[in-house]
Amino acid sequence: MLQPKQTSWVILAGGQARRMGGQDKGFVAFKNKPLIEHAIDILTPQTDQIAINANRSIEQYTSYGVTFPDQFSDYPGPLAGMHSGLINMNSDWVGFIPCDSPNLPDNLVSLLCDAVQEDTDIVVAHDGEYMQPVVTLMHKRIIPKIDAFLARGDRKIILLYKECNTVFADFSAYPNAFINLNSPQELEQFGSLL
């Protein structure tokens, strides 16, 4: 059984945040604290290996810890951040969360680890209705598949998951865990809920 201490984690903050008016989403304040700090606070009690994937504001992000950009240019999406995380982190298993989901549960790491089976490549969180493709745990052996996938111009994470041995971790007990804050309207809407 995979233990949380055998994993490392990357907070994905490398997007363009178009719906947030182009602001760097990690530094958007939610409940008087930047979203990146919410993400760090979620992971810190669960793991001691945390890094950030970012493509701008690198110096600011580095003040929170190890930070690295995508290996691919032109913001090809979260999969590029995952690729970079798999390359840069030392553990065989690397987990990922988005920087804009401040309500992820405090047992996220163990729930994903518990779902790993002998031949698993990827574990994806599932809320009971939908998979949550950016909350995931991946094994480094899939790096060549991601290389090929991105090189041919594919971007949809779900298509990659179909090419790998992907299993799901049950997060149905946490219905509000995956609320992500993509716009000023969502910041306002969920401010009173979370």
Q: Report the CATH number at residue 158.
A: 3.90.550.10
Residue 47 confidence (pLDDT): 94
Does residue 16 carry a pLDDT above 70? no
Average pLDDT over residues 181-193: 59
Average pLDDT over residues 30-41: 91
pLDDT-wise least confident of 48-57, 106-115, 174-183: 174-183
Residue 22: pLDDT band with limits 50, 70, 90: low
Number of domains present in the structure of the chain? 1
Largest CA distance in the chain: 43
pLDDT-wise least confident of 22-31, 87-96, 136-145: 22-31
- Separation between Cα atoms, residue 163 and residue 154, nearest integer Å: 12
pTM above 0.85, yes or no: yes
Average pLDDT over residues 137-164: 91
Domain range for 104? 4-191
Residue 105 confidence (pLDDT): 95
Residue 44 confidence (pLDDT): 96
Does residue 180 carry a pLDDT above 70? yes
- Separation between Cα atoms, residue 94 and residue 8, nearest integer Å: 5
